[in-house]
Amino acid sequence: MLKKWFLSLAIAGSALLSGLAGQAEASASVLPAAAPPVVKGGELTSPTDFKSQRDALPESRKPLEAPLSLDKAARGQGLSVNVNAALNNNPNNAIQVVTGAVYADKITEEGGQRWYVFQTNAPGKLTAYLQTIPSASIDYDLHLFRYDPATSSLVEQETSSYGPQSNEQISRIAPAGIYFLAVSAYTGFDANTSYYFTVVESPSYDSAEPDDNIWHAQEKTDSFTVSGQTIDNSLDADWIKYTVTAAKSFHIKLANNAPGTTYQLQIFNQNLGSLGTVDQNKDVDASLTPGTYYLRVVSLNSYNASVPYSLTFSEYKAPASVEIVSIKSEPNVDAGKRIDYGEGNKWRIQNYMTVTGLAKDASGAPAFNAPITVYIQTKLNNKIYSGTGTTSSNGTFNVAINGIQPAIGQNLFYGYVSTHYYDIIPLLVYSGGTQLNANDNSLYHYAYSIYNPH
């Protein structure tokens, strides 16, 4: 659970720096007397590639809860409060905050900046999140720096700069130390409405981190599988920049077994317009045109940094073969398996049949969402019967053919107590006009039997 705070009174960030000037581990509840060093740098830069002609990035995660009011909660946590602190509009006037807390602040001037400083005592992943102002005319950006005590400089700037009405998010794998966070008004401001922000530490994280925004997205093309990734905090977002090279269909699955969690895949076009979502453990087939897409995996409630999820995009390929698993017919002729009348092992049918099978592409992988047509041709007048179906996301299919006319009985088999009369008829399987290789290509079409005991 995130602690709840309110930035009404300024918590002096200079205390943290002056404390480090005197000792390596200064308590956040003490304001040392030593003068803090002047912080150098901090020039804010915002990438503009997602600023113009972009959709507002939709947000399905739970919003940050409203912080508690005034300084009472802050003092209750042992933080010192400086009611006379200067406006935190530059790094030397940064307000001291702590990780795991939600804060609120306002920008009251065009091009304004608000600065914050915090310290971490152990290496890990940092996630900074800005819940912005919901206005199309206001665009706030988020910046993160590491403080270099050897030079008193801010270094290694990370920036999240989506367009208006889009929340900002940064993550980085960070050593223990002092960090500065800045919120800048790229366009417009609202002196009466607060933005919310928080910084979260994750001691455990997967090897793909940091990938919490589009600027650090993994790159994938066409068919791919991602495994071993986790959601390491409630705000974690795993991004993929996805390229489709030609018009293709894909089978998509987000598999998650982390107890008590609900993960979701969100699909965006290159302008961050939403194209849809895929819920965990659901099979979805989708057709995509050539181009660039963005994929984001998030949690809609809790998270689990220990149990990984997997994400698979499997490209549709036309079936090349089918494996017929069973053919069902009337109970009096259906043996539940292939039988042998002395002319090979074949399935036996009479007036109807249901074919169950698995379609595979040329590589042997299941061919999903493929049309399947099964044909037979009876001996009487060479009449042709057919049935159609579509393969599932796993390549399986069921095709029924009903109302099959009687067999002639051109062939006979002498059984122990009766003589069976039957025809041998062809069995063909097609997909999209192409005949598929099959492990069965003929059937016993049962006509009748005559009791003839030995």
Please report, for the domain that includes residue 221, its CATH number. 2.60.120.1050
pLDDT at 61: 73
Query: How far is residue 32's CA from residue 34's CA, in Å, rounded to a whole number?
Result: 6
pLDDT band at 80 (very low <50, low <70, confident <90, very high): very low
Contacts of 209 (CB under 8 A, 6+ apart): 125, 171, 173, 232
Give the DSSP per-residue string, 31-99.
--SSPPPPPB--------TTTSS-PPPP--SPPPPPPPPTTHHHHHTT----TTPPP--SGGGPEE--T
Under DSSP, is residue 15 helix (H, G, I), strand (E, B) or coil?
helix
Indicate whether 236 pLDDT > 90. yes
Domain count, the chain: 3
> Is residue 50 in some structural domain?
yes
pLDDT at 67: 60
Query: How far is residue 103's CA from residue 88's CA, in Å, rounded to a whole number?
Result: 14
One domain, residues 29 and 85: yes
pLDDT at 10: 36
On the 0-12 / 13-18 / 19+ scale of CB atoms within 10 A, 206 is buried
pLDDT, tens only, 379-421: 999 999 999 999 988 899 999 999 999 999 999 999 888 999 9
> Is residue 85 in some structural domain?
yes
pLDDT at 400: 98
Average pLDDT over residues 5-19: 42
Please report, for the domain that includes residue 53, its CATH number. 2.60.120.380
Query: How far is residue 195's CA from residue 167's CA, in Å, rounded to a whole number?
Result: 10
pLDDT at 382: 96
One domain, residues 231 and 333: no
pLDDT at 201: 96
Indicate whether 54 pLDDT > 90. no
Of 320, 201, 298, 295, nearest to 239 by C-alpha is 295
pLDDT band at 51 (very low <50, low <70, confident <90, very high): low
Per-residue tokens: 204: 């455990």
Q: In 214-366, which ranges are E strands? A: 218-221, 224-231, 237-244, 248-255, 263-269, 274-279, 283-288, 291-299, 304-315, 321-328, 339-340, 345-346, 348-349, 353-360
pLDDT at 13: 44
One domain, residues 111 and 236: no
Average pLDDT over residues 253-260: 95
User: Domain end: 284, 315, 346, which one?
Assistant: 315
> Is residue 207 in some structural domain?
no
Average pLDDT over residues 79-87: 48
How crowded is residue 293: how many other Cβ atoms within 10 Å of its Cβ?
17
One domain, residues 55 and 140: yes
pLDDT at 196: 94
Contacts of 25 (CB under 8 A, 6+ apart): 121
pLDDT at 16: 58
One domain, residues 444 and 341: yes
Which of 1-5, 140-144, 336-340, 369-373 shows the lowest per-residue confidence on average (mean pLDDT)? 1-5
User: Domain end: 171, 202, 233, which one?
Assistant: 202
Please report, for the domain that includes residue 343, its CATH number. 2.60.40.10
> Is residue 393 in some structural domain?
yes
pLDDT at 50: 63
pLDDT, tens only, 117-152: 999 999 999 999 999 999 999 999 999 999 999 999
One domain, residues 190 and 58: yes
On the 0-12 / 13-18 / 19+ scale of CB atoms within 10 A, 187 is middle
One domain, residues 7 and 133: yes
One domain, residues 64 and 175: yes
3-state secondary structure 191-221: EEEEEEEEEEEECCCCCCCCCCCHHHCEEEE
Indicate whether 268 pLDDT > 80. yes
pLDDT, tens only, 275-331: 999 999 998 989 999 999 999 999 999 999 999 999 999 888 899 999 999 999 999
One domain, residues 289 and 330: no
pLDDT at 57: 73
pLDDT, tens only, 341-371: 999 999 999 999 999 999 999 989 889 889 9
> Is residue 209 in some structural domain?
no
Give the DSSP per-residue string, 125-136.
EEEEEEE----T
User: Domain end: 170, 202, 234, which one?
Assistant: 202
pLDDT, tens only, 419-437: 999 999 999 999 999 999 9
Indicate whether 66 pLDDT > 90. no
pLDDT, tens only, 170-220: 999 999 999 999 999 999 999 999 999 999 999 999 999 999 999 999 999
pLDDT at 429: 98
Domain of 354, in residue numbers: 321-451
One domain, residues 44 and 171: yes
One domain, residues 269 and 231: yes
Residue tagged 């149990």 (tokens): 307
pLDDT band at 62 (very low <50, low <70, confident <90, very high): confident
> Is residue 208 in some structural domain?
no
> Is residue 378 in some structural domain?
yes
Contacts of 140 (CB under 8 A, 6+ apart): 107, 130, 132, 133, 168, 183, 184, 185, 186, 195
Mean pLDDT of the residues in the chain? 86
Of 99, 328, 127, nearest to 212 by C-alpha is 127
pLDDT band at 167 (very low <50, low <70, confident <90, very high): very high
> Is residue 103 in some structural domain?
yes
One domain, residues 183 and 62: yes
